[in-house]
Structure 1
Amino acid sequence: MDVPSQFARYPCGDYFASSFAEHGHWCEPSQLWVILPARQIEELTDFDGSPLDFLRVGDAGVNGIPFGYRIGHAGVWAYYPIDSDFVFIASSVQGLVDRWDAGKVTL
């Protein structure tokens, strides 16, 4: 799948080139869509409505922490809304899924 024009500013080509864009990634033990299908992804805004330059493609299932891509930054990140902080998680969406399934993502 090609990167839709509205998301072209984000370094998310690996997501759209993978089956995650169509099917997402459901984690049975966590009962969580760690990666969402493309029809459910979205650009996030801060509490005051200002853009975060963050494309949410998944969720951590705790404290409202989403996973996604940042404009101008490679890889997949977690956004901590309480602290307004970004933390690098993996170099690709597949890397995030691999780390998540192995229990290596700590939040």
Structure 2
Amino acid sequence: MRLLLAIVMVLAVGCSSEPDVDAAVIISNIRFEPSEVSVPVGGTVEWTFDDGGLLHEVHADGVFDSGVNGDNTFRFTFDEPGDVDYQCSIHPHMTGTIHVG
């Protein structure tokens, strides 16, 4: 029975529909760390909200918007090459750049 359960768990993990993460950004101490990352076209960035429950919203006008969040993650896959500047709408001094391609 344990072997069957282990096989089911491995298959479930292997069938995950979430994309692999090409770059990770931590939101902590009211900043993005790192503030610049590079990913290939089709690459995914994951932002982890780890600022003690302080609310943030990661967005790039017309590209993506995490919504207001305090303790979760947000992922976005970039399908077009170029530089994407983003910020926190709640703390406008928090800025970052994604280099795609």
Structure possessing the higher radius of gyration over alpha carbons: 2
The two structures have a TM-score, normalised by structure 1, of 0.23
Higher relative contact order (CA 8 A, sep 6+): 2
Q: Which has the higher helix share?
A: 1
The two structures have a TM-score, normalised by structure 2, of 0.24
Q: Which has the higher strand share?
A: 2
